[in-house]
Structure 1
């Protein structure tokens, strides 16, 4: 490894450190969003999430934490990454154009009171802007994770968490931090599921094979 190679990591960490200080101001916003999201999900509402490229991967990461779990076991909640339905995505793109791939799904899946979270480092993706318009028209609460403001997506949504860095990699890395913190706040509010008892419990019936032929025993 050369000195130049080691400098790449140092340079990247320096950019990340520069963005971390203003990012700390996002604490109250994430806490409030977490409480609002927990109330929406526990009331039977849904979270729709969308992004392009690396932001699409982060959108799917977020939905996995909510349908699955962040740390402690709890009930699963409805969260959909709109890019993950590939047949619908490609059909919509083919029939209606790429700018409509998320908006049409928002109109299909979103209900008034649901939450739409759109992720973009640039804040200028036409398909996300179309989704924000569709969400607001359908009565969804629209949030954005973006890079520096002002940008069109932040303005199109009700609220935005903006990372103050010109580097898209740094923006995405802090969007991932925001995802985990948001889920942490959600989990502080939503009830956990008690751990199962350690002793095994037999239920149902069991078919036993022996020399006299099969017999059924109650569990």
Structure 2
């Protein structure tokens, strides 16, 4: 079982190297440009993807590898009062889009994370980000779902296994953070 899991992980990384390097580089450049221009990065996802959103935001506001100034990364998954109030008043599908409408400015970047690419709340957040003139990055898997074509950069992990997709999302998030570290 252990060897089977490691082999599946290895083969997913191999596929990423074959097909996604240019997309990951484009995402890294978009994040770096956003921060260099004085804008912020807002990130959201559900479940394990919420944890990834918080992880990436923490790497920006804290530090990734090297000492540098704190950078503007906000996980839209952390304010339980906002999430529960919006869910209660408008429905769960609006918890991220309403926060984006309150916090985002033109030139900011929204990163939406959805393993399937079909999370209604993330899809609505992409629609809001576009209306607000924010740039967008999608992290998804499988066939990209409904997110396919909604993002400036959409990184579709070539796997149908949720665990592999989520593992690659945090790896890609760390690559983004390394690119930002290289700016400072």
Query: Equivalences for 1:87-166 in 2 at 5 Å?
Result: 87-166=81-160
What TM-score, normalized by structure 2, do the two folds share?
Answer: 0.95
Q: Name the SS for the 2:158 alignment partner.
A: coil
Aligned-pair distance for 1:40?
1.5
RMSD: 1.2
Gapped runs of 5+ residues in structure 2? none
Structure 1 residue 16: Cα displacement: 1.3
Contact preservation (8 Å) 1:42, 1:77: no
Q: Give the SS at the match of 2:49.
A: helix
Q: Which has the higher helix share?
A: 2
C-alpha displacement of 1:173: 0.4
Instruction: Return the TM-score normalized by structure 1.
Output: 0.80
Residue 48 of structure 1 aligns with which residue?
A: 42
Per the alignment, in what secondary structure is the counterpart of residue 55 of structure 1? helix
The answer to whether the Cα contact below 8 Å between 2:142 and 2:156 also exists between their aligned partners in 1 is yes
CA distance in 1, matches of 2:65, 2:57: 14
Establish whether residue 179 from structure 1 lines up as the match of residue 173 from structure 2: yes
Alignment correspondent of 1:29 = 23
Determine the C-alpha separation between the residues in 1 that align with 2:149 and 2:27.
18
Work out whether 1:169 is the aligned partner of 2:170. no
- Larger relative contact order (Cα-Cα within 8 Å, sequence gap ≥ 6): 2
How far off its partner does 1:76 sit? 0.8
For the structure 1 residues 150 and 176, does the alpha-carbon distance in structure 2 shift closer, same or farther, using more than 3 Å as the test?
Answer: closer
Cα offsets for 1:79-111 (capped at 9, x unmatched): 110010111011000000000000000111111
Following superposition, the deviation at residue 75 of structure 1 comes to 1.0
Q: How many residues align?
A: 183
Whether 1:17 and 2:10 are equivalent positions in the alignment is yes
Task: Map 1:81-92; keep pairs closer than 5 Å.
Answer: 81-92=75-86
Q: Residues 23 and 153 of structure 2 are in contact (CA less than 8 Å); yes or no, is this contact kept in structure 1? A: no
- Name structure 1 gaps, 5 residues minimum: 1-6, 192-219
